Structure 1
Amino acid sequence: MSETTSDSAILEGTRRRLTEKQADTVDRLTRAAVEVITREGYAASTVRMVAAAAGVGPATAYTYFSSKEHLVAEVFWRRLLQLPEVELTDDQPTAERVVVTLRQVSLLVGDEAELAGAVTSALLGQDPDVAHLRVRIGREIRRRIATALGPEPDPDVVESFEMLYAGALVRAGMGYGTYAEMADRIEKSVHLLLD
C-alpha cells in the first residue's frame, strides 16, 4: 500500500471523511486510548478517561467514536494500515510467505497484553461502527494473505487461512496461549495445509 493510500485511509474516519485538524484529534484520542488501557485495563477504561488524557472534551470524543469498542477497533485498524508490507520474494516457498505474513499480523498487538485483550473484546462487539471496521480489517488481512499465496490464489485457501488467523487470535484473547504461541501454532498449521 502506498503512503498516499495509507495516509488517506487514516484521514477517513469510520463515520466520515476527516479534515487535517479532525484527523489530529482522532490521532490524539487513539494514542490516549492505548495509554489509558495500558494503565487502567480495558474493563476500567472509558471514553471519558481517554478524552481527558487526549485533552479533548467527552462530547468531542463521542463525535468521532460511538463507544469504547469503536475506539479500540480504530486503534487496531490504524496499526494494521501502518504495518509495513512483508517483503516477499518469488523464490520463497508459498508456505513461508504465508507464515511470515500471518506472523506479522498476529503479533501486531501481541506484546501489549491489555491492548491485545481489548482488541479481541472490541472486535467481537455489536456496535455498527465496529462492524464497519471489522469488515475493513478483514479485507486488509484477506488482501495480505492473498498476496502471500501468489497470483490467483484459491479463494477457499484464502478463507481457510483467514479462519486460522481469526481462531488463533480469539484463542490468545481467551488466554489459551500467548500471541507468540499462537503465531507458532499458525506456522505449524500453515505447513500442515500447504506442505
Structure 2
Amino acid sequence: MGHRDDPSRDLTDLPAGHPAPPVHDRHWARDVRSAVGCAGVLLALLLLMDWGVGTLTAWRAVIWVVLALLLLVVLCPSRVSAGEGCVAARSPLRTRRVRTDLLVSARCPDGVSQRLLLRDAFGDRVEIDPRVLIDNPELWHRLAEDARRAEASGFLLCGTTALSRVSARIDGETAQNVFKVSGLE
C-alpha cells in the first residue's frame, strides 16, 4: 500500500500548492438510512393495512410503492461536499454547485426550514442546512475560508451578517459540546 493510499496520512504533509482533498458530510449516510427506514415503514404499513382489509391488488401495491418512493425523495438529504473554492449539494434529483471563492451573497431566508442560501458570481445557487455545517466543522472551515477570500476580493457584498450568525451558532454549539464532554455542563 503506497503512501498515497494511506488513510492515516496527515493533510499537513501535502506539497505546497496542492489542493486539499474534498470534505464530505460525515453524517449523510446515517440520514439516508433514516429516510429509507421511514419510507420502508410507510410502505409496510400501507401494504399491511390494505392486505388486512382485503383490498390489496397489484395496482394498489404499485401506488403504495410509488408513494413510499416519493417520501424517500422528499426525506433524502442532500450530500454536501466542499473542495477548494467550491461547495456542492447533491440531492437525488440534481447536483448544485457554487464557487465559494466567487461568492456574492449568503442569506438565511425566513421560513420554517433553516437554510443557508449561497450564490456565486455566475448565478449558481446552493441551499445548505446549517445543521450540516455545525455537525461537520471541516465543511464550515472550507466555506468560511473561501467566503473570507471572496469578501477580500470584493465579491461578497451581501451576506457577511448571515455567515456571522452561522459562525456564532457553530461556536456556541461547539462550546456546549466541549462543556458536556468535560463535565462542566
TM-score where L is the length of structure 1: 0.27
| RCO higher in structure (CA 8 A, sep ≥6) | 1
Return the structure number with greater strand share.
Answer: 2
